[in-house]
Amino acid sequence: MKRLIVIWCCCLSLTTTAQQLPVLCYHNITTAGQHKNDLLHIDRDQFDRQLKTLSDSGYHTILPDEMVALMAQHKPFPPRACIITFDDSHDVHYSVAAPLLQHYHFKGVFFVMTVTLNKPHYLSVANVKALSDEGHVVASHTWDHPFPAGYKDWNKELVTPRQQLEKITGRPVWYFAYPFGAYNDSIIMHVKQAGYKAAFQLNRLPVAGKELYTLRRLMVDGRWSGAQLLHEMALYGTQ
C-alpha cells in the first residue's frame, strides 16, 4: 500500500510539474476589412468559433492565481480547465476579445506593455482599468517589449510597468510574460527580484526547478479550426 501511495504522489507531482494545463496565447485580432489568420493574427469570427468550440466541449477558464496555487500544492488541475492570454496590448483585446470572452463566460489574462498605453490602436488606461474591473487579470509584458539583450534598465522594464499597472487597476500585478517568449537565467532572476510570482514563456516545456518562471503557453494559430485547436491542446498535455 505504501509503495502505491508513493507512486501515485510522484505521478501527481510530475503531472503538475509538466504543466499540462493548456495556456492559450493570442496576439492581434482582425476585424471587418482586415481578415487575416496566421500565428500572430486571428479574424474576429474565427476567434469566436474557437471560443465556441471550447465552450461546447466543456472547457472553462481559471486564472493564474489558481494555477500557481495548485502547482505549489502539487495538486492536479481541474478537468477541462484552460487559461486564455493576450499579448501586446492591442485595443481589440478590449473592444473585441473581452465581449466574446464574456459571452462564453470566460476570463482572460492580458499582458500589457506600458509604452503603448493610450497610443492609437493600443489599449488605453481606461481599457486596462475596465478589463481588471470586469474580472480579467492585467499582467506585465515589460515597458517596450525588448529582445533578451535589450534589457538595459531592469527597473524600467520590470518594476515601473508593474507599479504603473497596479496604480491603474488598484490591484496587485503578480504575473509577467517574456517578450517573444524569450528568457535566460539573468532575466528570470530579475523577474523574481521585481516581485512577480510567476512568468510565462511560449511553447517550450517548463524548466525543471524553475517551473513557475518558465510556464509554457500554446501560441494559437488563427488558421486552426475549433477542432484543430482541441487537437493541439490534447497534444500539449502529453508533451
> Taking the CB of residue 183, how many other CB atoms lie within 10 A of it?
22
Residues in CB range of 74: below 8 A, 6 or more apart? 9, 12, 13, 16
Q: What is the pLDDT of residues 133-188, one digit of tens each?
A: 999 999 999 999 999 999 999 999 999 999 999 999 999 999 999 999 999 999 99
Q: How many separate domains does the chain show?
A: 1
Instruction: For residues 119 and 183, give the distance between their C-alpha atoms in angstroms, rounded to a whole number.
Output: 27
For residue 239, name the pLDDT band (cuts at 50, 70, 90): low
Q: Answer yes or no: is pLDDT of 194 > 50.
A: yes
* The Cα angle at residue 31 between residues 29 and 36, in degrees rounded to 5: 65
Residue 232 has pLDDT above 70, yes or no: yes
Q: Is the per-residue pLDDT at 1 higher than 50? A: no
pTM of the model: 0.91
- Which of the two residues, 7 and 39, has the higher pLDDT score? 39
Cβ(19)–Cβ(68) below 8 Å: no
Residue in the structure block whose three cell numbers are 499597472: 165
What CATH number does residue 203 fall under? 3.20.20.370
Q: Determine the 3-state secondary structure of 68 from DSSP.
A: helix
CB 164 within 8 A of CB 114: yes
Sequence-separated (6 or more) residues with CB below 8 Å from residue 109 = 63, 64, 83, 84, 85, 86, 136, 137, 139, 175
What pLDDT was estimated at residue 19? 75
Give the structural domain span for 184: 2-236
Q: Are 19 and 216 in contact (CB under 8 A)?
A: yes
Q: What are phi and psi of 188, to 5 degrees?
A: -60, -45
Per-residue confidence (pLDDT) for residue 12, from 0 to 100: 38
d(CA 140, CA 110): 8
- Give the pLDDT confidence of 85-112 residue by residue, as tens digits: 999 999 999 999 999 999 999 999 999 9
